[in-house]
Amino acid sequence: MVSHILKDCGDNVINMLTDALDAGLSVLDKDLTIIWVNKTLPNMLNLHYNPVGRKCREVYACECQDSRHCSVLQALSTGKKTSNEIQLITESGVRKYIRNITTPVRDGGNNIAYLIKISLDITQQEEKVRRISLLRKFAEVMQGTLQIDRLLHLALTCVTAGSALGFNRARLFLVDKEQNVIYGKMAVGPSSLEEASKIWSEIAHKHEDLDDLIDASVKTRHYDTPLHKTTRLMAFSLTDEKEIIVSCVKTKKMILERNAFSNDQIDKKFVNAVGVNEFICVPLVVEDDAIGVICADNAYNRKPITEEQVELLSIFATRVALAFANAETYRKLWEKNQQLKETRERLVRSERLAVIGNMAAYIAHEIRNPLVTIGGFARILMREYADHKKVKQHTEIITQEVSRLEKILANIMDFSKPIETVRTLIQINELLENTCYLMGPYLKSAHIQVSKKFDPSIPKIIVDQTQMKQVFLNLIKNAAESMTQGGKLTVESMTEDEYIKIDFTDTGEGMTPEILQNLFTPFFTTKVDGTGVGLAVSQKIIDDHNGFIKIKSVPKEGTTFSISLPIKNVTA
């Protein structure tokens, strides 16, 4: 048989046979210079030049410094047939996996004269293996990720990573049951062809393992890409069952659409938004309920979606859904825990207030009675010795000091007195206006300018008018007292979420973190003649109204007290 071919084709027969092989063949001399190759090898390595005459290392572009992993060097030193696997980037930027088998050929003196090297392209098998192991690892990492946004972004990164699922773009949609819609949550992928080619040439040159990918996922988690932005604007009603994405949610089955634009069975709103003819939608199913959809396509290289991609994506989506359910459960737990913590803090605070209050009330009353006697007799003395200068002066001091003590006691008793509430529907702006008016002369004498910025559109709310006025008075007085050299007080009202927010901003001394920490502790004061109950009382009143107080303070610049009162007061 061979002799027939030999007869027909002459010397060319060797070339003919070797070129027909699917394997690259090369012959090296003992200096590792290539002296012959078949035609398959340059094709396999995408060479644009004739490799004959070059060194083996130049052509294979592999790193043969490590002689233990180089089949050629091994074969040369051991004199035995050796094989290894290498990874290289071809001239055109494609990553390839090659298995090399090198066999030494000996001359008459039994010395190695040549090396025959057979190169097999194992890229496809290798990529498949790597892909699956990468997906598995990815899924493992995702299981441990409890932050939902990060998790979803990781998932989309995996769908688009060349070495994983390798789609051009991936979008994630989530179902909102209350609104009965499915809306765009996030997207990963280039926004244009130019960007796509730039990214591909960048990633083709670096080895992408799991850590690289996760790193990239964390780093690129900026949400301002055009693709992400347009995706965020998408929303489809779950009643539009002829939209592909909706039917994906309803049927809980993957949909591979290869010809969307000319498919007259479907509505085109979603298709037009995605903007490609071929794409795949995979539902994320948790406990028999589709919570979202991953939509992936090859918008830029326009490669058809392969069977393998479809299969891998469907397996992957199951893992994503599980991880999502995990993270969601964790989030709910965390929220509940947070609520518990807050309730506990509130309880502890009111408990502490109650104890302090009772104690304060007891002490205050015990002291008040003797004070009445002391002060009363001092007054009698003062009157009886009106013409005795010294006695009069000294008894005057006693009565003044007694009056001061009585005033402090009155303050404390107000604090410890159980508060009776009378709640009515009022416009906070009016109350603020009223309080500012009341404080007007005082503020003017302290050289404080008042700037009122009331939002006229804030709704009326149900509060105890007297108590709330007390809070406003306290805060305005505090602000004024922090501006010893005069300054500006800004009173501002606005709506924020479900709350009416009132800001009191001063240009005073500001507070240090230590002071801030103790601010609401009863009887804590930094003022020479303060009793330290003003803010504690204010806090208690706001607490009773289911609101909260926040403070922002910069030393030497000023302080803002913000009161938030719920618009829908549940206990009203």
CB-nearer residue toward other proteins: 269 or 392? 392
Choose one: 35-43, 188-196, 276-284, 365-373; the region binding other proteins (CB under 8 A).
Answer: 365-373
Q: Does 373 bind other proteins (CB under 8 A)?
A: yes
- DSSP 8-state code for residue 277: S
CA distances from 133 to 164, 182, 214, 293 (A): 9, 32, 15, 24
Q: Does 408 bind other proteins (CB under 8 A)?
A: no
CB-nearer residue toward other proteins: 364 or 432? 364
CA distance 518 to 178: 43
CB-nearer residue toward other proteins: 359 or 380? 380
CA distance 423 to 143: 51
CA-based nearest residue to 148, from 312, 355, 313, 291: 291
Q: What angle do CA 162, 164, 166 make, to 5 degrees?
A: 40
CA distance 220 to 157: 9
Q: Does 110 bind other proteins (CB under 8 A)?
A: no
CA distance 482 to 486: 9
Q: Does 320 bind other proteins (CB under 8 A)?
A: no
Q: Give, as ranges, the residues between 526 and 545 that touch other proteins (CB under 8 A).
A: none
Query: Tokens standing for 199?
Result: 């990214």
How many residues bind other proteins (CB under 8 A)? The answer is 24
Q: Does 402 bind other proteins (CB under 8 A)?
A: yes
Query: What contacts 364, CB < 8 A, 6 or more positions away?
Result: 409, 412, 413, 416
Residue 91 · residue 47 · CB < 8 Å: yes
Q: Does 411 bind other proteins (CB under 8 A)?
A: no
CB-nearer residue toward other proteins: 365 or 444? 365
CA distance 165 to 208: 13
CB-nearer residue toward other proteins: 196 or 419? 419
Q: Does 239 bind other proteins (CB under 8 A)?
A: no
Please report how close the Cβ of residue 363 comes to other proteins at its closest, in angstroms. Answer: 12
Q: Does 369 bind other proteins (CB under 8 A)?
A: yes
Residue among 339, 358, 403, 434 that touches other proteins (CB under 8 A): 403
Residue among 27, 132, 310, 413 that touches other proteins (CB under 8 A): 413
Q: Does 382 bind other proteins (CB under 8 A)?
A: no
Q: Does 386 bind other proteins (CB under 8 A)?
A: no
Choose one: 33-41, 330-338, 343-351, 373-381; the region binding other proteins (CB under 8 A).
Answer: 373-381
| Strand 487-496 with 499-506, pairing | antiparallel
Length of the chain: 572
Residue among 55, 221, 368, 394 that touches other proteins (CB under 8 A): 368
Q: Across the strands, what pairs with 570?
A: none
Q: Does 227 bind other proteins (CB under 8 A)?
A: no
Q: Does 354 bind other proteins (CB under 8 A)?
A: no
CB-nearer residue toward other proteins: 266 or 405? 405
Residue among 35, 372, 554, 572 that touches other proteins (CB under 8 A): 372
CA-based nearest residue to 16, from 2, 27, 35: 2
Q: Does 379 bind other proteins (CB under 8 A)?
A: yes
Query: What contacts 272, CB < 8 A, 6 or more positions away?
Result: none
CA distance 7 to 124: 39
CB-nearer residue toward other proteins: 17 or 405? 405
CA distance 229 to 278: 22
Which residues contact other proteins (rule: CB under 8 A)?
A: 365, 368-380, 399, 402-403, 406, 410, 413-414, 417-418, 420
